[in-house]
A and B are shown apart, each in its own frame.
Chain A
Amino acid sequence: MTTPVHAPHAHDGGSVGRVMRLVMLALLPVTLWGFYLFGWPAIWLWLITVGSAMLFELVCLRVSGRGGPTILRDGSAALAGWLLALTLPPWSPWWIAVIGSFVAICIAKHAYGGLGQNPFNPAMVARVALLISFPLEMTQWVAPAPLFSGTGPDAIEALERLLFSSPIPDALTSATLLGHVKTEASRGVDLLASVPSFGAAAADGIGRHAGSIGETGSWLILAGGLFLISRRVIGWHVPVAVLAGLCVPAMLAHGLDPAHHLSARHHLFAGAAMLGAFFIATDLVTSPATVTGRLLYGLAIGFLSWVIRSFAGFPEGFAFAVLLMNACVPIIDRFTRPRIYGHGATDGRAA
């Protein structure tokens, strides 16, 4: 006898694919802005990353015998590749993208059992693996060379550059603000001198400065994030907590010692904070499931990022912070379970 269908006989019509598509839609503005800022190399890099991520997903699903190409429709692999691409230096060689996709999809995702089972954010695992394995390539930043401005290579030239890993012309090499101040600090130049020497573009949130493809257009990221919150794809808890966890210590430290601590404004706009707060830390699979847990998780990510940026050897710490907190998610979830109705308190107030 077949199992009868259980209630409910209704559904709100949502699907995993829809969730992923909405996130992609929210990423579209900042991605296009990144394409404009960094030109054809960024476009090719994005295509290769997303394409190879989908390819690896397909291979993994085939190997583990879990269905054919239709399963790609849930879009989770494309999204992981997309997020990874946004965190790469725009002019990275092609193999950075492919290795990154491989790590993200095959190791960080499918080795743990596929969609929904991975404890660590695939894009961040890939980024950290690349950063540690290829520190040189992963810190080759370019100054914005917008499309149609003639400063960057055209489509063919960019593809050649990508495939043959040509070095970036000296005229275009640049540094991120976080990297710049770290280098200057190691030479004994404090922030009071190093920040103004970088220029004002780092703190206006528009993104006309060096950085990975998708991290510099802060206002567009914010718009995408608010769109996701309004569509209830993500909650407000994680982004708000991340930004608070980053900005509050930054403000305090900057207030006390402006020569050695960047302002909250720089922390917000100069690095991956916005992208991370709205799109990385909010990854459904690897973030806590409870409201209290999400607040704790977000605060800890923000604070850890600030600590790593301020005191550690790496100029940027967001990926590390996310991975560290990913590891804590099970324990956070366990200790922040909501009170069940009728347990503990009978007077209607929380126990």
Chain B
Amino acid sequence: MGFRDLIADFKLQWGVHPDGHKSLTSERPIESMPLPERLVLPLAQHIGAPARPVVAPGERVLRGQRLAEPVGMVSSAVHAPTSGRIADIGDYPVPHPSGLAAAALVLLPDGLDEPVAFEPCEDPHSLEADEIARRVAAGGVVGLGGATFPAAVKLGLGKRNPVHTLLLNGGECEPYLSCDDRTMRERPQAVVDGARLMARALGAQAVVIGIERNKPAAIAAVQLAASGHPEVSVRALPVRYPMGSEKQLVAYLTGVEVPAGGLSAEVGVVVHNVGTAAEVSRVLRTGEPLTHRALTVSGAAISRPANLRVAIGTSVADIIAHCGGVRRDVARYVMGGPMMGMLLPGTDVPVVKGSSGVLSLTSEEAGGGSASACIRCARCAGVCPIGLQPFEMAARIRAGRAEAAVDLGLKDCIGCGSCAYTCPAKIPLSHYFSYAKGSLAAAERSRLKNESIKKLTAARSERLAREAREKAEAAARRKAEREAAKRRAAEAAAGEAAEERREVPQVSA
């Protein structure tokens, strides 16, 4: 650890040190889990528009076949993890805190695992930048750290802003999770290779791989793999949560802050997860799309904690059964890490591209308890990596003034949960912020709807006026016609009468 690191560490004021629980799984190599009987593949496994299915129910599909295509600029394709038959396309429970169902494809594997013809690439480093991004997009790669932003879109960021550095996030600061650690130890070549490919796509000259100091084996492995590549450097990160948050990583490794509301690319930096890098390397070299991912199965309640490579679409219930089921009362099933992961309403939900972990937590691990009054200890402000004052924001939100919380920086909140983790009064601070962000978004939606309704109403009254006018005009026209007709009739009658009059004398004569 160099002097520069020491200074940087000392300056770090934020963050918490949650109990890591990493030893449950960190020495367990990633094992492949056998295919389950049914795979459920949600169409929205990424940030952006849901993919559009390109297969029909009943159709037989092959491994690696594209099942749904991206829609619009920010979207990602979905591929078949194995060969089989599409049983249904409809709404199925997805990993979401609401427990709602959403559009998904159901694939019943036929056990043959017959692949489509892939196009391997011997030397992907000779590909053009655009071609790398195109193949990454075609492979359906999204950010595997949990944010699930389509990787190819992020690789295109170099076009708008010059990107000088690609940061690879090997922090894995969430407790329990060790799949990134294992990936770096087992596939360091793929991580470095993928990072170099992404740097090429971005036009970045340097790659910095940041790994927390609690993973010495990973640091050594990646350093060894990077030894032949002078543009790739490995930096050890202090162990604290949320070191792996993009903003924190950028500030720590480059000394530059990402502007509020902006992208890291604006300061010439793009961040990718190490798992994503390994997948990018595999996708480009083999031509096989992203259909499996490594994840950590852990928690005190699980019988056999493990790191698994599972087919996307495998249900949480199948994974837990594969790991020997649970041996204690499970208070919460969590997808992702405990700090930011979501509580699963049930185990009948599939693993998606962004699922980094499946945790079965006992009530002692999950913490919580009923909230009490804030004592203004300001611990939340001390740990906030962004420099917010969570207790002040929560007090305003509680009083129904979400907009006042925005003035205090609600929109800068990264939702890391450090504040709620450390709050002695157990106030659900993160929940308050999600609630306020949600109600502000809903208010914005209703404002937009109001505006469009106002336009509709205006259009309607204009239409009604036009119709009335047309009606009036038509009526006037008809009246005029009627009158004209009447006039003509009257004239005709008058003429006849005149003639008659002329005739009358003749008659009388």
Q: Are A340 and B421 touching (Cβ within 8 A)?
A: no
Task: List the B side residues contacting A341 at CB < 8 Å.
Answer: 247, 251, 257-258, 260, 385-387, 412
Whether the Cβ atoms of B375 and A285 lie closer than 8 Å is yes
Interface residues of B in 171-209 (CB under 8 A from A): 175
A74 CB-CB contact with B under 8 Å? yes
Interface of chain A, main secondary structure: loop
A4 close to B412 (CB less than 8 A):
no
In contact, B368 and A5 (Cβ under 8 angstroms): yes
Does B431 reach chain A (CB closer than 8 Å)?
yes
What is the CA–CA distance of A16 and B427 in the complex, to the nearest angstrom? 11
Q: Which residues of A have CB within 8 Å of B345?
A: 4
State in angstroms the CA–CA spacing of A15 and B365 once bound together.
15
| A9 lies within 8 A of B424 (CB) | no
Taken together as a complex, chains A and B put the C-alpha atoms of A9 and B335 apart, in Å, by 11
CB of A205, distance to nearest CB on chain B (Å): 29
Is B343 an interface residue when CB atoms closer than 8 A count as contact? yes
The answer to whether B366 and A342 touch across the interface, beta carbons within 8 angstroms, is no
A8 touches B417 (CB 8 A): yes
Given contacts A13-B367, A116-B374, contact A6 B259 (CB under 8 A): no
Q: Is the CB of B258 within 8 A of A10?
A: no
A39 to B381, CA, bound (A): 43
Task: Name the CB-closest residue of A to B99.
Answer: A4
B506 interface residue per 8 A CB criterion: no
A16 B372 Cβ-Cβ under 8 A: yes
Residues A11 and B378 in contact, CB atoms below 8 Å apart: no
Residue contact A342 to B260, C-beta cutoff 8 Å: yes
Contact residues in A for B18 (Cβ distance below 8 Å): 10, 12
Instruction: Tell me how far the C-beta of B92 lies from the nearest C-beta in chain A, rounded to whole angstroms.
Output: 18
**A285 contacts across to B, CB distance below 8 A:** 375-376
Which 7 A-B pairs rank lowest in CB-CB distance, beginning with the nearest? A11-B367, A6-B431, A8-B417, A289-B378, A342-B260, A10-B338, A9-B338
Task: Given A7-B341, A8-B420, A18-B424, answer yes or no on A343-B260 (Cβ-Cβ < 8 Å).
Answer: yes
Q: Given A342-B412, A347-B256, A284 and B378 touching (CB < 8 A)?
A: yes
Q: Which of A323-351 contact B (CB under 8 A)?
A: 333, 337-343, 345-348
* Interface status of A115 (Cβ within 8 A of chain B): yes
- Chain B nearest Cβ from A31, distance in angstroms: 22
Q: Apart from A14-B422, A341-B412, A348-B254, what are 20 other A-B pairs with CB-CB below 8 Å?
A: A6-B420, A6-B431, A8-B418, A9-B339, A10-B18, A10-B19, A10-B339, A10-B367, A11-B369, A15-B369, A117-B373, A284-B375, A340-B387, A340-B388, A341-B387, A342-B386, A345-B257, A346-B256, A346-B267, A348-B257
Known: A74-B372, A114-B373, A341-B385. A7 touches B260 (CB 8 A): no
Nearest CB in chain B: distance from A73 CB, A? 10
B325 contacts chain A at the CB level, 8 A cutoff: no
Contact status of A7 and B422, CB under 8 A, knowing A338-B381, A340-B387, A347-B256: no
Chain A positions 249 through 282: 1 when the CB is less than 8 Å from some CB of chain B, otherwise 0: 0000000000000000000000000000000000
Find chain A residues with CB under 8 A from B334 CB.
7, 9
Residues of B246-303 contacting chain A, CB below 8 A: 247, 251, 254-262, 267
B349 to chain A, nearest CB (A): 13
- Measured CB to CB, the closest approach of chain A to B14, in angstroms, equals 9
Number of interface residues of A (CB under 8 A): 39
Q: Which of B397-455 contact A (CB under 8 A)?
A: 408-409, 412, 415, 417-418, 420-426, 428, 430-431, 434
User: Complex formed: what's the CA distance from A10 to B16 in Å?
Assistant: 12
B342 at the interface (CB under 8 A from A): yes
**Which of chain B's residues have a CB closer than 8 A to the CB of A339?**
387
Residue of A nearest to B417 (CB): A8
**Residues of B contacting A342 in the complex (Cβ-Cβ under 8 angstroms):** 247, 257-262, 386, 412
Q: Which A48-63 residues have C-beta < 8 A from chain B?
A: none
Assembled-state Cα–Cα distance A114/B338 (Å): 33
Using a CB–CB distance below 8 Å, which chain A residues touch chain B? 4-16, 18-19, 74, 76, 114-117, 284-287, 289-290, 333, 337-343, 345-348
List the count of A-B residue pairs having beta carbons below 8 Å apart.
160
Q: Kindly provide the distance from the CB of B162 to the nearest chain A CB, expressed in whole angstroms.
A: 15
Identify the closest chain A residue to B344 (Cβ).
A4
Flag whether B98 is at the interface (Cβ < 8 A): yes
Residue of B16, B332, B426 near A15 (CB, 8 A) is B426
How far is it, in angstroms, between the C-alpha of A12 and the C-alpha of B365 when the chains are bound? 10
A12 and B368 form a contact (CB under 8 A): no
Interface contact A340-B376, CB-CB below 8 Å = no
A276 to chain B minimum Cβ distance, whole angstroms, is 19
Closest to A113 in B: B373
Cβ-closest chain A residue relative to B432? A6
Complex alpha-carbon distance, A292 and B418, angstroms: 22
Question: Is B430's CB under 8 angstroms from A6's CB?
Answer: yes
Which residue in chain B gives the minimum CB-CB distance to A342?
B260
Write the chain B residue with the least CB distance to A73.
B372
15 contacts between A and B (CB under 8 A): A7-B417, A8-B338, A11-B426, A12-B367, A15-B425, A74-B372, A76-B375, A284-B376, A289-B376, A289-B381, A290-B381, A337-B408, A339-B387, A342-B261, A348-B257
From 1 to 25 in chain B, residues with beta carbon under 8 angstroms from any chain A beta carbon are 16, 18-19
CB-nearest residue of chain A to B262: A342
CB–CB A9/B257 < 8 A: no
Q: Which residues of B contact A6 (CB under 8 A)?
A: 97, 343, 420, 428, 430-431, 434
Given the interface pairs A16-B375, A346-B259, A347-B256, the reply to whether A8 lies near B340 with Cβ below 8 Å is yes
User: Which residues in chain B, 443-492, are within 8 Å of chain A measured between CB atoms?
Assistant: none
Of all chain B residues, the one with the shortest Cβ separation from A345 is B257
User: What's the least CB distance linking B376 to chain A, in Å?
Assistant: 5
A115/B409 in contact, CB under 8 A: no
Q: Check if B391 sits within 8 Å of A289, measured CB to CB.
A: yes
Are B267 and A19 in touch, CB under 8 angstroms? no
Q: Across the interface, name the chain A residue whose C-beta is closest to B343.
A: A5
Shortest beta-carbon distance from A64 to chain B in Å: 12
Bound Cα distance from A76 to B16, whole angstroms: 26
Q: How far is the CB of A181 from chain B (nearest CB, A)?
A: 37
Task: Decide if B142 is an interface residue (CB 8 Å cutoff).
Answer: no
Bound state CA distance, A7 and B344, in angstroms?
11
